[in-house]
Structure 1
C-alpha cells in the first residue's frame, strides 16, 4: 500500500473527529487522589456536578486506581446523591476488583490497577442545577490501604 499525503490527511481527520466526538460525550470528570496512608471511612470523596440539560440521557460511573497490595478482592461503597431540590438518596454498591483466583480485574496502568464501574446507565436528572455526589467506603477497616485514587464521571449516553 502506498501512503500518500492525501491518505495521511484523511487519516488525521478521521482520528480528530473520533477524538472530538468522544470528548463531546463527557459532561463531568474529576479524579481525587487518596491520602498516602489510605482511604479513611470518614473521608468522603465528594464531587459537585452541574446539570443544565435535564433532557440529556446520561451514564455515570466510578474509576478506582489501586496497587497490588490492596488486601481485598472487592470494595463496598456508599454513594450519596443530593440534588438541587435537596432530596438525598444513598446507594450501596459492591465493586469486584479481583477474580476468586486472586487475579486482579481492570487494566494494569503504571504499576497499579485501574477498574471502572458503571453506576447508572441512561438516566435523566429530574431538575437542573447542582448535584452533590459523595462516596465513602463501607469496608470493615477504618483505614483502607493501597487505594490510589477515585474518579467520578458523567457522560452523555448517546
Structure 2
C-alpha cells in the first residue's frame, strides 16, 4: 500500500513538472532569516544552447508580511560567455496603492514574477551568469538598507516565448 502511494506521488510530481514546457531555467535561492543583506549578491549560472529562439527572463521573489516597502530596487548584472557585461538598475512595485502586496499566494507568502527582459535572444551559446542584489534606500538617506527584511527567496527564470 505504501509503495502505491509513493509511486502515485512520484507520478503526480513528474506530471506537474512536465506541464511547464516553456521553462528553460528556473532556480531559487532561500535567504537566511528571510532577510536580504545589501552585500549579498545572488548568482545564477545557466547554459544557453539556443541562440535563435526568443526568451522571456524573470526575477522571481517571495516575500512575507515583514516586507516593509511598496516597491523594490534591484541592481542586476548579466555576464555573457565572451566577457560582455550588462548592468541594470530596476524598480518594481511590490504593493498596490492601498498597501496590499502584489503577487500570487493565499498565505502570508506572496510570489512575484517580475519581468527582467522580454522577447530576447541570447547572442551566443555558452554559460551565462545572472547576478542580482537589492539596492533599497529609505527616503532622504544615502546609505542603503543593510538588511531588507521580508524577502524569503530570490529566483531567476527563463521561458521560451509563445
Superposed pair shares fold, TM > 0.5: yes
SS of aligned partner of 1:24: coil
When the two structures are superposed, what TM-score results if normalisation uses the length of structure 2?
0.81
- Structure 1 residue runs of 4+, over 2 Å off? 108-111
User: Take 2:69 and 2:38, find their aligned partners in 1: how far apart are those partners?
Assistant: 15
Residue 76 of structure 2 corresponds to 79
When the two structures are superposed, what TM-score results if normalisation uses the length of structure 1?
0.83
Mark the runs of 5 or more structure 1 residues left unpaired by the alignment: 1-15
Q: Please say if 1:154 is aligned against 2:161.
A: no
- Deviation of 1:110 (Å): 4.1
Aligned residues: 141
SS of aligned partner of 1:36: helix
Aligned counterpart in structure 1 of residue 35 of structure 2, from 35, 38, 42? 38
Q: Please say if 1:26 is aligned against 2:30.
A: no
Mark the runs of 5 or more structure 2 residues left unpaired by the alignment: 1-14, 138-144
User: Take 1:46 and 1:99, find their aligned partners in 2: how far apart are those partners?
Assistant: 29
User: Take 1:75 and 1:132, find their aligned partners in 2: how far apart are those partners?
Assistant: 22
User: Take 1:80 and 1:135, find their aligned partners in 2: how far apart are those partners?
Assistant: 6
- Deviation of 1:23 (Å): 2.4
Change (3 A) 1:37 1:28: closer
> What is the RMSD of the two structures over their aligned residues, measured on CA atoms?
1.7
Aligned counterpart in structure 2 of residue 130 of structure 1, from 122, 127, 130? 127
